[in-house]
Amino acid sequence: MRSLAQMRQTYTGITGKLVLAVVLVLAAVLVCSCNCPLCSKDVCGKADKIKVVVVTGGHDFEHDPFFEVFKACDDIEFTEAAQKDHSELFEDISSWNYDVIVLYNMTQNISPKRRENFVKLLNKGVGLVAMHHCMADWPDWEQYREIIGTKYCLQEVTIDGRKHAASSYKHDLDMKIQIADTRHPITKGLKDFEIHDEAYKDCWFAKDNHLLLTTDHPMSDKTVGWTRMFGKACVCTIQLGHDSKAYANPAFRRLVANSIRWCAGKLK
């Protein structure tokens, strides 16, 4: 028979192995539940990043500085879709694999089929972030202004039976931005800030926009940021974002990142 000392040694060895096994299991669970950029499909079996398609085209912009805004976000995986035919991204959505659409284009034509597909995506809950000059997208598509909650009027137009003057813009302004809703997930913790940017004036706005950002600059409309719902989609529109000076602004970067997260359903 084994001695008492031998039995204690065996028990201690078994206990140590059990503790080590438990620690390894817990470590694996923690790794796979984290949101860190090192948590990849190979480790966790799924992608934790928000999949974003950034739509460009129809308007010049500082390409590389603009996309630094997205590269700075470890939880966002983006693809640029530069439109050569104004809206070809929405021609076939059968293999759609994006959580959020970011519009930074200023393209003019979108066919009935592409309009229908765009709306289908929103009705399925694909989020939408509309930025800056996309406010002038697809001017002949009346429903588009209802989707993003605004319209930059390239010329005098009639909206809801009323004439609306052409909108205007002004480059290189130092604008003071006020946070209209400090409790919204997109702006929570963000304080009033200044930004060097381009302003828009005399745009049309939907009455049911949920206001996030305002400015008192006389060359700009008061409203510069808001959210709304369309179908099942969370929509956020940000008027700001003309060039590299705006892109580099920490508050602007935070707004863009949080808008994507909120539209993806990651911020409650």
> For residue 41, what are the contacts with CB-CB under 8 A and spacing of at least 6?
47
Q: What domains are there in the chain, each with its CATH number?
A: 1-48 (no CATH), 49-263 (3.40.50.880)
In this prediction, residue 48 has a pLDDT band, given cuts at 50, 70 and 90, of confident
Using alpha carbons, select from 80, 33, 88 the residue that is nearest to residue 53: 80
The answer to whether residue 243 scores a pLDDT higher than 60 is yes
Percent of the chain with pLDDT over 70: 82
What distance, in Å, lies between the first and last C-alpha atoms of the chain?
Answer: 64
In this prediction, residue 23 has a pLDDT band, given cuts at 50, 70 and 90, of very low
Cα(76)–Cα(95) distance, integer angstroms: 20
Model-level pTM? 0.83
